[in-house]
Structure formats: structure tokens, C-alpha cells
Structure 1
């Protein structure tokens, strides 16, 4: 499970810059290929890889990029992706940071600076924190729209 709650990440990413220039999707870089292979192998083993994104609407430029690349990158590898407009998240108890939750037991918390640059990660196994994050993810997932059905507000 992966929960994303920011409207922009690593704005100096060459793939994002290329997309801003001419809406070109760069999918042949080693990191993108590595990610798709990792996800495809996990899905082939029967692992469900789910990503939920809480987004402001209208979308930021970066979130438009994420939306544009999701079918060819995330979904093509077997990831299930859903979108939740931020206005629909008001009643949810959400953690303060993006995270990955592995096997319902290990939480990898991502820390970013104010400009969306990755700072570091923190591994958390405290059962109460893991439980909170799992419940938050499931609540977002329940309210969110599958990628193939999501149409961003303009």
C-alpha cells in the first residue's frame, strides 16, 4: 500500500521536465524500468500493489504529469492506482506523511521538504502506528476513484 498526499514531488525530475516541455512521457530511463519490473514481479507472485493519491483539484502541474504517466508506467506494471480529490478527504484521519506499508507490518515513511524534495525515509514497526496508517489507507481507498475512471476537475 502506498499513500501519496503531496501535490508535487522532486520537481527537478528529468521525466517531469520532459513532460512539461512537450507532454512527452519518458519511460525508458533505468529507474522507471526497474520500478515496472519490480512491481510486475510482485504482482506475478500474487502481491496486490495499491497506490492511492490524495490530490488537490484543479491538479498541479506535477499531478497532471502523474496522471498522464500512470497508465503507461504504474498500471502497465500491474499497480492498482486510485485518486481521491482532497475535498473528499476532509473527514478522514490521515497520517502526516506519505508512506508505504509492506505486509501490514512494516511502514516506510517518506519525508520531503517544503519543495517536494525527498529528505529521507523512516522505518516504523510500532503496531499502533502501522494500524493507523493501514486504516487511513483503506479509508482513502474506499472513497477514491480507480485510475481508469478518474477524470480530474478543471
Structure 2
């Protein structure tokens, strides 16, 4: 799979003598015309691509399918194709490591138009997460406004907005 980008949090000057926690994630790109299936999160006021961390030993595509079903209620997921890998190095604030290296495996796919039931985790419910079909250009503009105005923004919204720009350029 092609490498899209690697980002390093500004607080990480080097990895020498650092303990690095490896996290793998899978993300699902579902486009229909100029609309894209995204997750809107009320707490962060942003749009994100469905996906998340893989369970220990979980196949990447199986994890992408699981995350897409849980977060959006997507059904009949098919025509799965590799899109690219996005890497991030971020500070890790737990005792087992200093830095998290997250590798996101992104795939495009198709689904049935009608969404089923979601299966959110508690924190996703508390954050006000919900699946929405939105015009990709509107989502990009929204995220860029949030990046410019929100003190809560982090590396995630920057990743998502970068990916949305690339998807708009290559898939529309």
C-alpha cells in the first residue's frame, strides 16, 4: 500500500531513548458522488473518516469492516480497495511508553445506501458522535474552520482534513 504522509507532533524532537507504543488503525472511505460518509463529533465540532484501532492480531480489512459497521451501521461492505497509509508520531501519556506511533491503513469501499444500527462505545456516545453523509467540500471547509478557531484541535483533525483533500482530488 502506498505511503501518504508521516506527521510528527511538535513536542517530539527525536525518538532516541524513547519507548514507542505501536498502534494500528483502519479507516474506511465511502464516497457516493461528491458525498462522503463521515462521523460528526459534537464535542470536537469536526468530521472524521470512520475507523479506529485494530484489536490484537486482527486482520486490517476485518478491522476496517468492523469499525465501519460499529460506527456507521454500514451494511453490505464490498469493493474494498487500498487507498494508502498515514503515519503519526504523538506524545503518549501512559506509563508504558513515551510516544505513540499510529499507522492508519485507509481503504475505499462501497456500502448499501441505507445505514443500520450503530454500536458506539461509551466515550463515542458522550462525545456526540453520529454518522452523516456530507458533501466532501463542505466537510473540508468545516474542518478547516474548526482548525482555525478551536483551541481543542489536535493531530486527528489535521489527519482527517489532509485525507479529505486527497480523497477529493483523487476520487471525485
Task: Give the structure with the larger helix fraction.
Answer: 1
Q: For this structure pair, what is the TM-score category when the shorter chain's length is used for normalisation?
A: under 0.3
